[in-house]
Amino acid sequence: MSGTSRRTLRCGELRAQHVGQRVRLGGWVHRRRDLGGIVFIDLRDRAGLVQVAVGPGAPDEVRRVAAGLASETVIDVEGDVTARPANMKNPELATGDVEVQATRLTMLGTAVTPPIPVARGKGEELPAEELRLKYRHLDLRRPEMQGNLMLRHRLLQRARKTLADLEFLEIETPILTKPTPEGARDYLVPSRVHPGEFYALPQSPQIYKQLLMVAGFDRYFQIARCFRDEDLRNDRQPEFTQVDLEASFVGVEDVIGYVEQVLVALWDEAGHAVARPFPRLTWRDATERYGTDKPDVRFDFPIADWTAQVKPLGVPFFQPALKDGARVRGLAVKGGGALSRKDVDQLAEAAKQLGAAGLAWVKRQGEQVSGSVGKHFTPEVLGALGVGDGDAALMTVGPDRVTSPVLDRVRQEIIHRLAPAPQTAHAFCWVVDFPLFEPDAETGRPVFAHHPFTAPHPDDVARLDSDPFACRALHYDAVYNGNELGSGSIRITDAAVQRRVFAHLGMTPAEAEARFGFLLSALQAGAPPHGGFAIGFDRVVMALAGAESMRDVIAFPKTTAARALFEGAPAPANPADLAALHIEVKR
RNA sequence: GGGGCUGUAGCUCAGCUGGUUAGAGUGCCGGUCUGUCACACCGGAGGUCGCGGGUUCGAGCCCCGUCAGCCCCGCCA
């Protein structure tokens, strides 16, 4: 299959079975070892490395070319595949049992000395990320990056096949869409033919896929590129890929079932067996036990409410907050005695940065109790909290909105520092029963926690106006080892309910009509019950590739300042082009 | 928008309390070498210490500003 008119097969595909054959190879000079009388060339392509030998018996022309080959030159080699003598095999190389004795050798593409190395020694540091992005064509040649992108390809194919087998139809939706006032900032595209008007790049195909359900396509999916003009993170790029799906005549169970099948297939593609169904926990339990809506449930190490046990101890650090009705919450750390004073100080510093008053700690060594609030605790009290010999307790006090993120962070840091054995390698879970509203950061007024098309929980619809914060949404998140892999919901299909929701967002009926009239009129045209999900595909690849950064699973990613260093985007526009778009730039 | 870390040879880094001519490994160039696989050995070239300003007799090192990359908070319906 890999053969062409200019090669027999790929370099990395050679095996003992090819011994005796004459082959023609094309590839990049990975490394060259010139021993004088004999030259070895490691020739590389996407399949791997093979050693080409140019010995004293090779034609003079071949020896002359081999002696002058620079790294990363593209060459065309013809030669005989020979078995290596036993003591000259290289077990670290898939092709290490054989080598190619070159009989013909030509340079196809000369290469200047690469500014960053492609071939890297064991333990050698990677070049600065800035340089890796600037010389992306070289960075992408590295076997690690080739492996990441080849895995990404296989996962994409597997997602497609899995959904197609489940009778989902792959349908494309527009990239030039309508700006939306809510949610993330839009990337805007000016219209040439309509002065002063703009398209937006989609933040997700949300409304389109709902329209496809109204149109009767029943099950839709798309490998969708999405765009959000927000500040970036290690796992957030301004353009990213979702495995987006939507289905009709479904409930929460159906959608969760489809998504589990896709995720299990993707993990299988990467060689990991994962059991279904995934465990579920409610949003309330997740935030109570883990302090976050994306808990890492690989570790059975929950946050506990210790208010009842700690309040009677009269610890000065806790008293003022306890008077205001706050709770003391903490973590019983098995083996926490191993945490150094420096560890604890750093944890406390991190806690303060997240708004905690501080982080109180106690260590128990037999009958000895020490720590910042140690003198208030006895072994008996600690035992009741689950803190045994050699363990530690870390705790803080305050409103849940502060203690939850603080203890989430502390819990993650402790897992990182003490590196306990996980109970499972691949811990999926569903977080369900999210609240429909959350308080606005400034006004405290209820605002939608998700997008405004999410259906309220049927048991809570009656409380929509009277007690909005108590209303749950038919919204669910897929979480893997503490990472949110995606979210979805059952949608509102009643136009009247959808109008009420828009009114909740502070939109007048006229505004709702102007912004979402096309959705409202669709819902009145006979809308089936429907719901869906979007899997953050880049995060899936990150997890399965073991990549530290999303940039390592995207061929041409942006920097944290949303720049493309390779091609140099964004860039100032030509004044004539701006004029044609009716745009004047103020600086 | 805010905070932190980093920026010294092509690359990865060291550079003490501010003090003479800024170092190492690797890559590159030249040489020796017939079994290496990060080949080995000998020799050599290579520096706007990110950029701008300031303090000082003197700045890679201290101060201010700025740019870039990375990490985090805000943000991401």
Task: At A457, list the tokens.
Answer: 């929980």
Nucleotide nearest to A41 (CA to C1'): B37
b/e map A132-161, b = 16+ CB within 10 Å = bbbbbebbbbbbebbebbebbeebbebbbe
Confidence label for A342 from pLDDT (cuts 50, 70 and 90): confident
C1' of B33 to CA of A42 (Å): 19
C1' of B63 to CA of A351 (Å): 32
Whole-number pLDDT of residue A366? 84
Which value, in Å, is the radius of gyration of the alpha carbons in chain A? 30
Q: Is the Cβ–Cβ distance between A189 and A213 less than 8 Å?
A: no
Whole-number pLDDT of residue A68? 94
Task: Count other C-beta atoms under 10 Å from residue A454's C-beta.
Answer: 21
Whole-number pLDDT of residue A121? 85
Nucleotide nearest to A350 (CA to C1'): B72
Q: What is the ipTM of this complex?
A: 0.94
Number of H helices, E strands in chain A: 16, 22
pLDDT, tens digit (0-9, with 9 covering 90-100), for A159-187: 999 999 999 999 999 999 998 877 899 99
User: Which positions of strand B lie within 7 Å of protein CB atoms?
Assistant: 1, 10-13, 26-29, 32-40, 68-77
Read off the pLDDT of each residue in A91-111 and give the average, rounded to a whole number. 97
Q: Is the Cβ–Cβ distance between A80 and A101 less than 8 Å?
A: yes
Residue A490 has pLDDT above 90, yes or no: yes
C1' of B21 to CA of A115 (Å): 29
Pick the range with the lowest mean pLDDT from A25-39, A145-159, A302-316.
Answer: A302-316
Nucleotide nearest to A236 (CA to C1'): B76
Phi, psi of A359 (to 5 degrees): -130, 110
pLDDT, tens digit (0-9, with 9 covering 90-100), for A111-121: 999 999 999 98
Nucleotide nearest to A130 (CA to C1'): B69
Whole-number pLDDT of residue A113? 96
Q: What is the mean pLDDT of chain A?
A: 93
C1' of B62 to CA of A129 (Å): 29
Whole-number pLDDT of residue A428? 96
C1' of B60 to CA of A116 (Å): 24
Read off the pLDDT of each residue in A466-482 and give the average, rounded to a whole number. 92
Whole-number pLDDT of residue A398? 87
Cα(A225)–Cα(A71) distance, integer angstroms: 36
Q: Is the Cβ–Cβ distance between A460 and A475 less than 8 Å?
A: no
Residue A533 has pLDDT above 90, yes or no: yes
Whole-number pLDDT of residue A265? 98
Q: Where are the beta strands (DSSP E) in A340-469?
A: 360-365, 368-370, 392-398, 428-432, 437-439, 446-448
The set of residues, in sequence order, having a beta carbon less than 8 Å from that of A572 and lying 6+ positions away, is none
C1' of B63 to CA of A516 (Å): 56
Whole-number pLDDT of residue A468? 85
What length does chain A have? Answer: 587
Read off the pLDDT of each residue in A31-37 and give the average, rounded to a whole number. 95
Pick the range with the lowest mean pLDDT from A48-57, A256-265, A394-403, A422-431.
Answer: A394-403
C1' of B19 to CA of A341 (Å): 40
Whole-number pLDDT of residue A467? 86
Whole-number pLDDT of residue A211? 97
Whole-number pLDDT of residue A126? 95
Confidence label for A141 from pLDDT (cuts 50, 70 and 90): very high
Read off the pLDDT of each residue in A143-157 and give the average, rounded to a whole number. 98
Pick the range with the lowest mean pLDDT from A100-109, A226-235, A271-280, A310-319.
Answer: A310-319
Whole-number pLDDT of residue A347? 86
Of A254 and A443, the one with more pLDDT:
A254
* Highest mean pLDDT (candidates A125-134, A437-446, A502-511): A125-134
In chain A, % of residues over pLDDT 70: 100
Whole-number pLDDT of residue A440? 78
Cα(A317)–Cα(A309) distance, integer angstroms: 15
Which residue lies nearest B69, CA-to-C1' measured? A130
At A198, which helix (H) or strand (E)?
strand A198-200
Strands A428-432 and A39-45: unpaired
Residue A441 has pLDDT above 80, yes or no: no
Read off the pLDDT of each residue in A279-304 and give the average, rounded to a whole number. 93
Cα(A32)–Cα(A67) distance, integer angstroms: 9
Cα(A293)–Cα(A477) distance, integer angstroms: 8
Query: Under DSSP, is residue A196 helix (H, G, I), strand (E, B) or coil?
Result: coil
Sequence letter at residue A291:
G
Whole-number pLDDT of residue A478? 97
Whole-number pLDDT of residue A443? 75
Cα(A484)–Cα(A466) distance, integer angstroms: 31
Read off the pLDDT of each residue in A230-251 and give the average, rounded to a whole number. 97
Residue A300 has pLDDT above 90, yes or no: no
Confidence label for A231 from pLDDT (cuts 50, 70 and 90): very high
C1' of B37 to CA of A555 (Å): 30
Confidence label for A232 from pLDDT (cuts 50, 70 and 90): very high
Task: At A587, list the tokens.
Answer: 């600086």
Of A439 and A581, the one with more pLDDT:
A581
Q: Is the Cβ–Cβ distance between A282 and A433 less than 8 Å?
A: yes
Nucleotide nearest to A180 (CA to C1'): B77
Whole-number pLDDT of residue A354? 79
Nucleotide nearest to A36 (CA to C1'): B33
Q: Check residue A127 and report its DSSP letter.
A: P
Tokens 């650090």 -> residue = A317
Cα(A25)–Cα(A326) distance, integer angstroms: 71
Read off the pLDDT of each residue in A246-252 and give the average, rounded to a whole number. 98
Which residue lies nearest B12, CA-to-C1' measured? A125
- pTM, two decimals, is 0.94
Cα(A347)–Cα(A359) distance, integer angstroms: 8
